[in-house]
Amino acid sequence: MTGARTGRAVVLEEFGRPLSLREFTIPPAPDGGMIVACGHGGVCGTDLHLCQGHLPIPTPLVLGHEGLGVVRELGPGTHRDATGAELAPGDAVMWASSIACGVCPPCRLHREPTLCENRRTYGVNRSLADGPELAGSWADHIVLHPGTTVVKAAEGVDPLAAMSLACAGPTVVHALYERRPVRLGEVVVVQGSGPVGLAAAAFAQLAGAARVILVGGPAERLESAAGAGIGDVHLDIAGADDPERVLAEVRAATGGAGADLVIECAGVPAAVAQGLTLARRGGSYLVIGQYTDAGDTLINPHQIVYRQLDVIGSWAFTGAHLVEYVRLLPALAARFDLASLVTSFPLERHADALAAVADGSVMKAVLTS
């Protein structure tokens, strides 16, 4: 590797405190790993929860679990990406945020690596003390460890389009591929109009749903989704004076009987009780959005039994799901204006990016370096 041997990174020093922009030495690429120049680091809703201490993570650490960059240096033994394509310095790549251990019961016995008990996740549980320090994508360089799923970026796809759903996309691939697929001709309701909700709606349309009804808010997010071509019907429940009226509109939009599949992507516990009433009898309720424990909520279990619902949860994603997301990106980008969903911020304006995500004034914030 030639040129600068130091890199800047955004560091979470303490929960609830302002983040810092620090400089670190860029080490040589590890055996079986690589150094990537992080051109783009996505800001996820989970990052807000991390900064506020809502998840048990070590600090200090470099934030950022979703990214796209250019290979700067390959370590010994690293020659191909996850699909078998040859890798070389200068290649644009994306990488999976987590590495499963392969030996715990979920990995070894249950074939569920997303539930790995020892997952190591970039930007989440790799503290500075663990080394190397550059282990998050909110940086101009990241050290990718051996075992990381790395895949060449989709050719001809704008990096901002790829980053629009960088975490949400693979998460939804897992949910709709492994847990409960969208079937041709189904009516689908998606609760939530953030990146996960938009990913679910877009994939449902791509999978052949007859109609996709997006219910969420605020209104500006729904307008962004409609402008990008995502969703067939857009209903604002977040800003409604009478949520029950909006729920009645959702049921009417399904044809009256309810949706074949309702996908919860709102991350609001109260949405679950509402969502159970939006599925048809014999339908399915797929819960993706409750990634952070936001508390309890009251539900009516009669709705589950009366409607004879399949209620399914889906947690995170693996490297294989990232590979499928990248494979689908050309089709997604051709059908939907994904880049329009992204607002870019230079690394120095990380605080502005987080604030914009927190107040909902942007759909997807991406830090660039």
For 76-99, write each residue's pLDDT tens digit.
998 899 999 999 999 999 999 999
Strands 150-152 and 92-95: antiparallel
pLDDT of residue 55: 85
79/89 Cα distance (integer angstroms): 10
Closest CA to 287 of 258, 266, 317: 266
* Long-range contacts (CB closer than 8 Å, 24 or more residues apart) made by 25-30: 26/1, 26/134, 26/141, 26/143, 27/132, 27/134, 27/143, 28/1, 28/73, 28/75, 29/1, 29/73, 29/74, 29/75, 29/78, 29/143, 30/75, 30/132, 30/143, 30/145, 30/146
pLDDT at res. 54? 87
pTM above 0.75, yes or no: yes
Residue segments in the chain with a per-residue pLDDT below the cut of 70:
1-4
Return the biggest CA–CA distance within the chain.
Answer: 66
CA dihedral angle for residue 359, residue 363, residue 365, residue 366, rounded to 10 degrees: 170
Confidence at residue 31, expressed as pLDDT on a 0 to 100 scale: 96
pLDDT of residue 3: 52
